[in-house]
Amino acid sequence: MRLYLAVAVLVLALVAYTEAQDATMEEKMTQFGDQVTQLGKDFAEKAKNTFENIHNSETAENIRKWFNEQMEKVKKNLQ
């Protein structure tokens, strides 16, 4: 929810900023498209880094280790 609100505020600020400049509508749309593309790339990069940090965290490793130990116990009991 906060992300949508932040994006909406950024779009409004961008519109106000581009209207204040002396540029043609085509230039404005091109700049807006470039800025949205860059925003998407930045968001994707941050999300990727966050998921990698979570995946490589000590807690995640401990959970995987515990799960593997439990599976080994189940396998051992089934044999």
The CB density around residue 76, as the number of other CB atoms within 10 Å, is 8
Q: What is the rounded distance in angstroms from the CA atom of residue 39 to the CA atom of residue 44? A: 9
pLDDT at residue 17, as a whole number: 73
* 17-76 pLDDT, tens digit each: 766 665 677 887 888 889 999 999 999 999 999 999 998 899 989 999 999 999 999 999
pLDDT at residue 29, as a whole number: 84
Q: Does residue 1 have a pLDDT over 60?
A: no
Q: What is the rounded distance in angstroms from the CA atom of residue 32 to the CA atom of residue 10? A: 11
Q: What is the rounded distance in angstroms from the CA atom of residue 32 to the CA atom of residue 28? A: 6
What secondary structure, in 3-state letters, does 18-49 show? HHHCCCCHHHHHHHHHHHHHHHHHHHHHHHHH
pLDDT at residue 75, as a whole number: 92
Which domain does 19 fall in, by range?
Answer: 2-78
How many domains does the chain divide into?
1
Q: Does residue 5 have a pLDDT over 70?
A: yes
Global pTM reads 0.50
